[in-house]
């Protein structure tokens, strides 16, 4: 990491509900000492900063929270990209592509021209296409540019399995892979409970848990975001928690394994796209993409998901 980067400074692009809740989670976890909000609506960014500053007073930490501009990216440790159009009820993430790209085309050159050399975490949808777009445009190491990918899907998955088998979600080790969208899939052979493979765990509790219908689980995971959007207009709390988890893992050099939308260079037989895969997160960002063993059906699901992402990426980079 560049020595001139000010450790624990985070610039959040987009000060709406997602951006403001990212700031909130970072503050509650005491991970940062400076947060800068950037928004096309400067007045809204300033109001959010003032409101969060009131919260900082109550927390007792010496937070600096303010509205800023893209020059603030120069010495930032992290830039969190939340800018883009809100997802409408009934709309898929892929259908947000055109509107999101119009917004990003005006933002990315300003971040790049600031001299930013930190770690760029993308939240904007469609997650995988945006992550690859940012990787290609920012000229940063591949480990420094990635999207939240299937991390939120995986958190939902762990919660669903935990509720079905009657254990705390934190005891469940499971993740989704592929597109952060309708073509994501669950590598079921890699699910464990407290370190015990799921199949073995269920066999030991056969009188209490009859089994898991993974078709229903997949359906619940895929529909969770749409149900939230239909009911309240956006998702905000879950994804903000994921962002704070990512920042914590990097700052603490945890080498946590988190499924993120990372640029592939041959892993899983794929190159030139970003998609949700398990990654090791260290103080250098994505230290390694983990290429886990997939069953035949899972490999087919991965290929199908990559093809969907690639076909949409071609709309952004038709000359590639």
Cβ proximity of 115 and 138 under 8 Å: no
Task: Say whether 180 is catalytic.
Answer: yes
Return the structure tokens found at 270: 């794929």
Which member of 21, 77, 144, 180 is catalytic? 180
Rounded Cα gap, residues 133 and 278, in angstroms: 20
DSSP conformational letter for 185: B
Q: Give the position of tokens 């087919």.
A: 300
Structure tokens at 296: 């035949």
The kind and range of the H/E element at 309 are helix 296-316
3-state secondary structure of 253: coil
| SS3 of residue 312 by DSSP | helix
Are 261 and 274 in contact by the 8 Å Cβ rule? The answer is: yes
Q: Six-digit token pair at 32?
A: 């940062």
* Tokens found for residue 142: 């591949």
Which residues does 119 contact at the CB level (< 8 Å), separation at least 6? 77, 78, 79, 144, 145, 250, 285
**Cβ–Cβ under 8 Å, residues 290 and 277:** yes
Q: What is the DSSP letter of 205?
A: T
- Cβ distance 129 to 316 under 8 Å? yes
- How far from 158 is each of 30, 169, 226, 241, 291, CA to CA, in Å? 25, 5, 18, 15, 21
Answer for the pair 307, 272: CB distance below 8 angstroms, yes or no.
Answer: no
Q: Tell me the C-alpha distance between 273 and 47, whole Å.
A: 37
**CA neighbor of 258 nearest in space, from 172, 184, 181, 174:** 174
What is the set of active-site residues?
180
């Amino acid at each position: 990491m560049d020595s001139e980067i000010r450790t624990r400074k985070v610039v959040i692009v987009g000060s709406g509900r997602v951006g403001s809740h990212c700031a909130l989670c970072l503050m509650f976890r005491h991970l940062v000492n400076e947060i800068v909000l950037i928004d096309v609506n400067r007045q809204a960014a300033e109001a959010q900063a003032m409101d969060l500053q009131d919260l900082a007073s109550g927390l007792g930490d010496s937070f600096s929270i303010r509205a800023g501009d893209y020059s603030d990216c120069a010495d930032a440790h992290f830039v969190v990209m939340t800018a883009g159009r809100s997802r409408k009820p009934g709309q898929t993430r892929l259908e947000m592509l055109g509107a999101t790209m119009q917004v990003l085309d005006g933002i990315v050159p300003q971040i790049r021209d600031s001299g930013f050399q930190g770690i760029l975490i993308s939240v904007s949808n469609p997650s995988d296409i945006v992550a690859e777009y940012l990787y290609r445009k920012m000229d940063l190491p591949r480990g420094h540019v990635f999207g939240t990918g299937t991390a939120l899907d995986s958190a939902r998955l762990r919660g669903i399995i935990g509720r079905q088998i009657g254990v705390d979600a934190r005891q469940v080790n499971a993740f989704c892979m592929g597109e952060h969208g309708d073509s994501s899939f669950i590598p079921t052979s890699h699910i464990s409970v407290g370190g015990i493979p799921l199949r073995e765990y269920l066999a030991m509790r056969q009188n209490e848990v009859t089994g898991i219908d993974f078709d229903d689980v997949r359906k619940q995971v895929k529909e969770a975001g749409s149900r939230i959007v239909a009911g309240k207009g956006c998702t905000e709390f879950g994804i903000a928690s994921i962002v704070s988890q990512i920042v914590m893992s990097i700052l603490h050099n945890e080498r946590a394994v988190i499924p993120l939308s990372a640029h592939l260079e041959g892993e899983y037989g794929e190159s030139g796209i970003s998609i949700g895969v398990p990654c090791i997160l260290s103080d250098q960002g994505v230290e390694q993409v983990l290429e886990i063993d997939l069953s035949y059906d899972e490999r087919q699901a991965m290929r199908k998901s990559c093809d969907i992402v690639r076909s949409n990426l071609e709309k952004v980079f038709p000359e590639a």
